[in-house]
Amino acid sequence: MELSGWVQDEAYRWRRPPTGAMRVPAVIYASAALMAEMDDKVAEQIANVATLPGIVEAAYAMPDAHWGYGFPIGGVAAFDPDLGGVVSAGGVGFDISCGVRALHTGLRVGELRPLKEALADTLFGEVPAGVGSTGAISLAPAEMDAMLEGGAAWAVARGYGTSADLVRVEEQGRMAGALPDCVSDKAKNRQRREMGTLGSGNHYLEVQEVSEIFDRAAAAAFGLAQGDVVVSIHCGSRGLGHQIGTEFLRDMAKSAAGFGIALPDRELACAPLTSPVGERYLGAMRGAINCAMANRQIITHLTRAAFARIAPEAELSVLYDVSHNTCKLEEHQVGGVPRRLFVHRKGATRAFGPGHPDLPSDLRAVGQPVMIGGSMGTGSYMLVGAATAGERAFGSACHGAGRSMSRHQALRTWRGRAVIDELAGRGILIRSPSYRGVAEEAPGAYKDVTAVVDEADQAGLARKVARLKPHVCVKG
């Protein structure tokens, strides 16, 4: 990235004062090395976000930021509804509420080893993954609406899991304010047979080992010890979210001029929070958040069924469930004054620090678990919202490694079968319906997740707690 115009005001913080149509500064959390590597498009996109009406404080980008649609992936921005603030379909993205759920298993890695092959096959058989796969549940219209309003709580009421699961899910598993009537028939139709499916691309279900602990106190509070086996589920709101994103991107791109909003990029499509189209989008998007949480709840149930057959002694409980593509109304201190703001996180995660009132009571003293997914070969990290997080990027952190190579290039570089064999040699079992899909997701096509996580830690966004090493990975 071209660094002229950017001021390094901390070791891991860069600030670009407003120029032109920018209403606030743009701020990127990264080292000089990562800034230099970052795509110029991130600078352009984050500066564009800073031009949107009602934006508060600054437009932020996380250490893993890369070229997205309108907003960079790894972008965070908050808007004040009383100051003409907007909601942006592009700022949330196509895969609304895509996120990660982590589960304890109660197993130790020694117990996992002899069961690994059977567990991999059973999970792959139990959890529908890949293009065209369908779930066992088909939702009739009334049930669809109940799901859109009820989220993971709806899934629990239908027998997928227990109410104890909901305590560790954001919003207790049910996002308030969802309006099923604002979700089109097409979006509902796209979802009808997709409940409890993983999807494809970078979505996965992994069985992982806690391979290293960095923060003993936080790890203990999360119930993690070295050698423990956990499960991570990464997926989102499936076809419903994709369709809502598609439709509102189009509608907001059309209506923007009528609201006097000059869009520097059509993908930044947005509407005032208090406008009819803005309110309809909020109602539909909250439905999609519920859909994603319900989906991860059903997949949790399927995961339990697979474990019950292979390792009946395992007890799967929810460690935490967090979403990465959302716009949520939150209270934040701005210049010492509490304000109610709509915070967009596009490819970024909430990272609330200790004491935050929205955290479950048993985690409030330590802070929010922040799960950061890496590629299938390199592992993932568990972090905790830092005490400073509330003042940094509205309590946000990075969400993953981010790609370093296009799918196009990855396909020319790797063969899926060879990637699977190489990982199997290292004790990582991949199960996927598509070799090509595996080649596109090859570990070498992703940035070094450790570097990204270290920077989030150093920048004070979130603190490292544990490293998770993959053993089994079901890819869509």
d(CA 149, CA 160): 16
Q: Is 278 helix (H, G, I), strand (E, B) or coil?
A: helix
- Quote the least distance from Cβ 312 to other proteins, whole Å: 30
Q: The dihedral of CA 300, 303, 307, 312: what is its sign?
A: positive
For 22, residues 6+ apart whose C-beta sits below 8 A from its C-beta are 47, 50, 51
Phi and psi at residue 20, to the nearest 5°? 60, -125
Alpha-carbon distances, residue 208 vs 56, 170, 218, 231, 312 (angstroms): 39, 22, 19, 6, 18
Closest residue by Cα to residue 160 from 203, 188, 169:
169
- Quote the least distance from Cβ 328 to other proteins, whole Å: 21
User: Can you tell me which residue has the tokens 């790609």?
Assistant: 403
Number of H helices, E strands in the chain: 15, 19
Our CB check for other proteins shows the closer of 41 and 108 to be 41
- Quote the least distance from Cβ 86 to other proteins, whole Å: 17
Contact 126, 118 (CB under 8 A): no
Torsion of CA 245, 83, 334, 290, to 10 degrees: -30
Which of these is catalytic: 234, 399, 408, 471?
399
Active site residue 399: yes
Query: Which H or E run contains 252?
Result: helix 238-255
- Quote the least distance from Cβ 124 to other proteins, whole Å: 12
Contact 128, 195 (CB under 8 A): no
- Quote the least distance from Cβ 262 to other proteins, whole Å: 16
d(CA 382, CA 231): 12
- Quote the least distance from Cβ 170 to other proteins, whole Å: 22
The DSSP annotation for 285-332 comes to: HHHHHHHHHHHHHHHHHHHHHHHHHH-TT---EEEEEEESEEEEEEEE
d(CA 465, CA 457): 10
Tell me if 437 contacts other proteins by CB under 8 A: yes
Our CB check for other proteins shows the closer of 216 and 412 to be 412
Which residue from 48, 51, 200, 295 is in contact with other proteins, where contact means CB under 8 A?
200
Tell me if 6 contacts other proteins by CB under 8 A: no
Closest residue by Cα to residue 5 from 44, 38, 39:
44
Tell me if 242 contacts other proteins by CB under 8 A: yes
- Quote the least distance from Cβ 132 to other proteins, whole Å: 4
Q: Is 370 helix (H, G, I), strand (E, B) or coil?
A: strand
Tell me if 409 contacts other proteins by CB under 8 A: yes
Tell me if 413 contacts other proteins by CB under 8 A: no
Our CB check for other proteins shows the closer of 388 and 434 to be 434
Q: Is 385 helix (H, G, I), strand (E, B) or coil?
A: strand
Alpha-carbon distances, residue 468 vs 117, 225, 234, 429, 454 (angstroms): 19, 11, 14, 15, 15
Which residue from 145, 215, 440, 457 is in contact with other proteins, where contact means CB under 8 A?
440
Instruction: Considering only residues 42 through 61, tell me which ones interact with other proteins, judged by CB under 8 A.
Output: none
Instruction: Considering only residues 447 through 476, tell me which ones interact with other proteins, judged by CB under 8 A.
Output: 476
Instruction: Considering only residues 64 through 83, tell me which ones interact with other proteins, judged by CB under 8 A.
Output: 66-69, 73
- Quote the least distance from Cβ 239 to other proteins, whole Å: 5
Cβ-based neighbour number of residue 291 at 10 Å: 32
Instruction: Considering only residues 279 through 338, tell me which ones interact with other proteins, judged by CB under 8 A.
Output: none
What is the size of the binding site for other proteins (CB under 8 A)? 46
Tell me if 39 contacts other proteins by CB under 8 A: yes
Q: Fill in the per-residue mask, 357 to 396: x = in contact with other proteins (CB under 8 A), - = not in contact.
A: ----------------------------------------
- Quote the least distance from Cβ 71 to other proteins, whole Å: 12
Contact 207, 112 (CB under 8 A): yes
Our CB check for other proteins shows the closer of 113 and 412 to be 412
Q: Which two tokens stand for residue 249?
A: 């991107």
Which residue from 95, 171, 206, 321 is in contact with other proteins, where contact means CB under 8 A?
95
Q: Is 123 helix (H, G, I), strand (E, B) or coil?
A: helix
Which residue from 18, 81, 177, 201 is in contact with other proteins, where contact means CB under 8 A?
201
Tell me if 184 contacts other proteins by CB under 8 A: no
* Segment lying near other proteins (by CB under 8 A), choices 2-10, 125-133, 163-171, 378-386: 125-133
Q: Fill in the per-residue mask, 415 to 434: x = in contact with other proteins (CB under 8 A), - = not in contact.
A: ------------------xx
Instruction: Considering only residues 128 through 147, tell me which ones interact with other proteins, judged by CB under 8 A.
Output: 130-134
Which residue from 20, 337, 408, 426 is in contact with other proteins, where contact means CB under 8 A?
408
Q: Fill in the per-residue mask, 257 to 276: x = in contact with other proteins (CB under 8 A), - = not in contact.
A: --------xxx---------
Active-site residue set: 399
Residue numbers at the binding site for other proteins (CB under 8 A): 39, 41, 66-69, 73, 94-95, 130-134, 186, 189-190, 192, 199-201, 239, 242-243, 245-246, 249-250, 253-254, 265-267, 402-403, 406-409, 433-437, 440, 476
